[in-house]
Amino acid sequence: MILRIIFYTMVTNVEASRQARRPEGLRERKRTATQRRIADAAVRLASAHGVTATTVEEIAAEAGVGRATFFRYFDSKELAVATGLSDVGAYVLAAVIGEVDPALGPLEAVRAAYRHLGTGFDANRAMFLEQAELSRSSAAMFAWTLYLYVDWEIAIARATASRFSDLVDADPRPRMLGALTMTAARLACDDWVADGGRGDLPDLIQTQLSAVHLAQGAS
């Protein structure tokens, strides 16, 4: 979905930046590495064989872990695949929102971040479409994808909160903006996939975001 879709080319650099600013302990690094290895293995196998035909045992073997270890990290193969597609995308989006012009209001900052992340879309169009279709390949797969949207909503809310000039305690607008942003992105991707990936996904996302007004705050 828009999971790795817009963020693919920026993940490595932003993740390295995160580690530099917030170093993790050895145990946490190992846990994160294992989780990512399992999730990446799940995406590789599901891309090659489909989610339905891929088993937990195959994913575990591909990742070099046991079945019990798999279930310490993921409740299902669908969640592993969805997590692999999501990767550090939510963090990347939040980081870019934080880096755009500080004079922009919350909604305009989100739109500017998506414009920036949409650079180079055409070069990876086929990969983006394959992963978007994978995220929709079954009801369970799509459900887990939507489940992970909560993490994106929270990341967007945290990244935009300081841009509301009149923010008050328990203000619902940052989280509402996160939810509306993810809805706009999902609708854009729905249209894009339905059209066989022929349109311009970044432009479609901008079109959907142009309809968002409720959580603009000072933007």
Q: Which of 188, 182, 174 is nearest to 218 (CA)?
A: 174
Domain ranges in the chain are 22-85, 87-209
CA dihedral 177, 16, 135, 123 (to 10 degrees): 100
Q: How many CA atoms lie within 13 A of 61 on its CB side?
A: 6
pLDDT tens-place values along the chain, 219 residues long: 444 444 444 444 444 444 545 556 888 889 989 999 999 999 899 888 888 899 999 999 999 999 999 999 999 999 998 888 776 678 889 999 999 999 999 999 999 999 999 988 888 898 889 888 988 888 988 998 888 899 899 999 999 999 998 899 999 999 999 999 999 999 999 999 999 999 999 999 999 999 998 544 444
**pLDDT at residue 126, as a whole number:** 87
Check: CB of residue 205 under 8 Å from CB of residue 121: no
Enter the CATH code of domain 22-85. 1.10.10.60
Task: Give whole-number Cα distances, 203 to 69, 115, 127, in Å.
Answer: 41, 8, 18
Q: CATH number of the domain at 87-209, please? A: 1.10.357.10
Three-state secondary-structure class, residue 214: coil
Give how far Cα 17 sits from Cα of 13, 32, 140, 160, 219, Å: 6, 16, 33, 20, 28
Instruction: List the structure tokens of 122.
Output: 């055409």
